[in-house]
């Protein structure tokens, strides 16, 4: 299977798993520190606000989105995040958080199509990648397949999961016109085998060549989570 650059999904939000929280908090803090604390964050699966309380409240601005309304101080859309991402101006946001249960690649592809990144500009993306169960069943989320450049019927996808995610991250970087500068990742040990991934990307002028050829650096790998 050809390898694309990467450094590093059904779209229901679930409560953060207690064993994954420390890694998720640390990854978001790393991304915020790398991109800069004066930036604005779009939290596409905002939920009850746990990641806002832990990290995103320190950012220069924050807008959340969830299909459930929560009575708190956050600014948030109560809507399908895909409709919101297709409707609002994404230019003010420099960090996008996709803490989905399953596969948030549809949302990531929307951002890649609508968020122009200037050469030298830095953006951050945080995602929870939970497509392993579907891969084990012989399927692949459609948007993940698009991002990874996979078409047709494929078999044995589960054993290629890491390679598929690498290709999808490379495909995302290619589409948004960036190279992956830094990456943090933590892996869960539950049956779902969820990955928690943080990316820092920089806009490049020769996006096609740079995004296709450069490898991202995995800055930190956290211990497996039970």
3-class secondary structure per residue, the chain: CCCCCCCCCCEECCCCCCCCHHHHHHHHHHHHHHHCCCCEEEECCCCCCHHHHHCHHHCCEEEEEECCCCCCCCCEEECCHHHHHHHCCCCCEEEEEECCEECCHHHHHHHHHHCCCCCCCEEEEEEEECCHHHHHCCCCCHHHHHHHCCCCCCCCCHHHHHHHHHHHHHHHHHHHCEEEEEEEEEEECCCCCCEEEEEEEEECCCHHHHHHHCCCCEEEECCCEC
Identify whether 5 is part of a domain.
no
Identify whether 28 is part of a domain.
yes
Q: Residue 156: what pLDDT?
A: 67
Q: Residue 79: what pLDDT?
A: 96
CATH of the domain at 181: 3.40.50.150
Identify whether 77 is part of a domain.
yes
**How far is C-alpha 85 from the chain's CA centre?**
14
Identify whether 6 is part of a domain.
no
Q: Which two tokens stand for residue 195?
A: 């990955």
Q: Residue 200: what pLDDT?
A: 98
Identify whether 71 is part of a domain.
yes
Identify whether 2 is part of a domain.
no
Give 36-79 pLDDT, tens digit per residue: 999 999 999 999 999 999 999 999 999 999 999 999 999 999 99
> What range does the domain containing 95 cover?
11-221
Q: Residue 191: what pLDDT?
A: 57
State which residues of the chain have pLDDT below 70: 1-19, 132-133, 135, 138, 151-156, 158-160, 189-192, 206-226
Q: What is the pTM of this model?
A: 0.81
Identify whether 3 is part of a domain.
no
**How many domains does one find in the chain?**
1
Q: Residue 208: what pLDDT?
A: 45
Identify whether 20 is part of a domain.
yes
């Amino acid at each position: 299977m050809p390898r694309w650059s990467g450094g590093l999904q059904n779209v229901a939000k679930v409560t953060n798993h207690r064993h994954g929280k420390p890694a998720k908090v640390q990854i978001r803090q790393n991304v915020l520190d790398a991109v800069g604390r004066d930036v604005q964050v779009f939290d596409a699966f905002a939920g009850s606000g746990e990641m806002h309380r832990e990290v995103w409240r320190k950012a220069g601005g924050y807008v959340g989105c969830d299909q459930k309304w929560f009575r708190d101080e956050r600014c948030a859309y109560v809507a399908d995040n895909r409709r919101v991402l297709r409707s609002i101006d994404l230019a003010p946001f420099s960090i996008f958080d996709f803490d989905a249960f399953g596969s948030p690649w549809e949302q990531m592809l929307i951002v890649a199509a609508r968020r122009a990144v200037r050469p030298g500009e830095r953006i951050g993306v945080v995602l929870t990648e939970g497509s392993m169960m579907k891969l084990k069943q012989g399927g692949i989320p459609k948007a993940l397949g698009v991002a990874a450049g996979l078409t047709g019927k494929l078999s044995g996808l589960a054993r290629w999961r890491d390679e598929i995610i690498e290709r999808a991250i490379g495909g995302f970087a290619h589409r948004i016109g960036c190279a992956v500068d830094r990456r943090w990742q933590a892996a869960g040990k539950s049956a779902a085998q969820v990955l928690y991934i943080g990316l820092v990307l920089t806009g490049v002028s020769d996006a096609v060549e740079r995004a296709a050829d450069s490898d991202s650096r995995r800055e930190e790998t956290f211990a497996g989570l039970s």
